[in-house]
Amino acid sequence: MLGLALVACESSPPTDSVVAAAASAPAAAASTAAAALPQRPAPLGAASVPEPPASRASAPPPARTESHGYALHWQRPPVRAEGDGVTVVPQGWGRGVRLVVTSSAGVGQVEVRPVRGVWPHRVQVEFEYAAGRPFDVLEGVRFQVVNPAHTAGDEVPPLPPDGFSIWQRDSRFWVALPEGWLERQQTLRIGWVDRYRR
């Protein structure tokens, strides 16, 4: 997501001492010396500086990925930490899937849609900071469906809070969407915040 622009810079012009040495020689010698000089000589006393080593920091994960047949589009924060993303976990309890959202910052937005076919009957969403570190609080969550009829500027009505349920077990909690709510939909937009920054 980050681009690096390289700007070509010309070398420094000859120093005064080089120009003075060429001017003090006879005219023929000066022309021979001038022809022998490189077009853009390096300044006197300049030492060669090695290139800095390439950064070992890994590139941020791509904004668009895929997991178990679902296309994922990470929208916020614009630059996410390594490990942030959504893992789609098919569930054994019939036609269902669990979306495990990993968000080290605790706040963000992502869009998820099936690449082929339709959404299953049951969809759950779980939030964690990292693997094995679930959210301990969830102060804000928003679910919206985005369909081709909606343009980019349209406000998509969210699912009302009383339309989904929150479950907790063994220090983990997840959100269960209404059964069948997404079966005829395409893209699910999920926004979340663990704690509002006041």
119-165 residue pLDDT tens? 999 999 999 999 989 998 889 999 998 876 666 556 677 888 777 88
Domain residue ranges in the chain: 14-49, 64-193
When the pLDDT of each residue in the chain is averaged and rounded to a whole number, the result is 72
DSSP state of 174: E
Task: Decide which of 95 and 98 is more confident.
Answer: 98
Question: For residue 70, is pLDDT > 80?
Answer: yes
8-48 residue pLDDT tens? 333 333 434 333 333 334 444 444 444 444 455 444 444 44
Confidence of residue 177 (pLDDT cuts 50, 70, 90): very high
Contact 129, 135 (CB under 8 A): yes
Question: In angstroms, what CA-CA distances link 28 with 14, 25, 32, 36, 40?
Answer: 20, 8, 6, 12, 21
pLDDT the model gives residue 184: 80
Helix axes 16-24, 27-36, angle to 10 degrees: 140
Question: For residue 51, is pLDDT > 50?
Answer: no
